[in-house]
Amino acid sequence: MAGKKYSKKHQVRSYECDQTEKMTLPMLMNVMMEVSGEQSDQLKRGAKEMTDAGLGWIIIQYTFDIKRMPRLQETIEVETQAMKYNKIFTYRNFTAYDQQGEPLVEVQTTFAAIDMTKRKMARITEDLIAPYEAPFVKRLERTPKPEPVDREAASSLPYRVRYFDIDSNRHVNNSKYAEWAINPLGQDFLNTHEMTYANIKFDKEVFYGELIESVYSVKEEEEEVITSHRIESNGILNCEAQFNWKKI
């Protein structure tokens, strides 16, 4: 038994698509977060109530199983469901469906609550979570780790955190880490490969003006290509990711 579902239709806009006319992963992440934010607002556990309680949600990890990315102009339905929680984490799923109700992208996420003044993880209280009606589970989930970067075969590109990377939550928008990770793979690769799986794990947030390095390595396998990524600032790990790709 999992918790309440919430869903919303979304028509894919041209500025949400890359040059292959498919929705970008960063934009899908943005739309997903919007949908779960709306559910929270509806259950009176939105940004306002969280701020009043001195708390905020942060994302710890996303994994994506991608049958195909939504296409330009396509209307998708983005569904979210609070799955379960323990004292530290909540687990929430998202599914993007096509108009025939077929799942296109299935996403598992892990959230944690943070105390906004102490900037530390906060215990997830019953009051905070009850309206979602997800079951409490004692045990922590084991989530898959992104395959690590092969340091000996790695390349990297530097990025500076820009003003527009920061959203109305006053943090670097989560989707920007995915942009920084994916971009160095380059146009030739990205126009000839489709993502089938993504695993993005956040460690330490980056701040405005910081210089980050997007480090990556590429592993060619028989059936697919696996790319491994690290976003680092001053040698500190900010985010790790793995993407699996099939040739188009």
Q: Tell me the per-residue interface mask from 194 to 213 with its own copies, x by CB under 8 A, - otherwise.
A: --------------xx----
Please, what is the minimum distance in Å from the beta carbon of residue 144 to its own copies? Answer: 26
Please report whether residue 19 would count as binding its own copies according to CB under 8 A. Answer: yes
Longest CA pairwise span in the chain (Å): 52
Closest approach, Cβ 164 to its own copies, in A, equals 5
Asked whether position 100 contacts its own copies by CB under 8 A, the answer is no
Piece in contact with its own copies (CB under 8 A), picked from 18-26, 79-87, 92-100, 221-229: 18-26
Could you say whether residue 166 binds its own copies (CB under 8 A)?
A: yes
Q: Return the number of the residue (134 or 173) whose C-beta is nearest its own copies.
A: 173
CA-nearest of 136, 144, 157, 146 to 212 is 157
Q: Which residues contact 59 (CB under 8 A, 6 or more apart)?
A: 109, 110, 111, 174, 202
**Chosen residue from 1, 14, 142, 247 binding its own copies by CB under 8 A:** 14
Q: Which stretch binds its own copies (CB under 8 A): 11-19, 87-95, 104-112, 125-133?
A: 11-19
Long-range contacts of 123-130 (CB under 8 A, 24+ apart): 123/87, 123/88, 124/85, 124/86, 124/87, 124/88, 124/89, 124/90, 128/45, 128/53, 128/55, 129/45, 129/82, 129/85, 129/90
Q: Report the alpha-carbon distance of residue 134 to residue 93 in Å, rounded.
A: 12
Which residues of this chain interact with its own copies, rule CB under 8 A?
Answer: 13-15, 17-21, 24, 26, 30, 33-34, 37, 72, 162-164, 166-170, 173, 175, 179, 182-183, 185-187, 190, 208-209
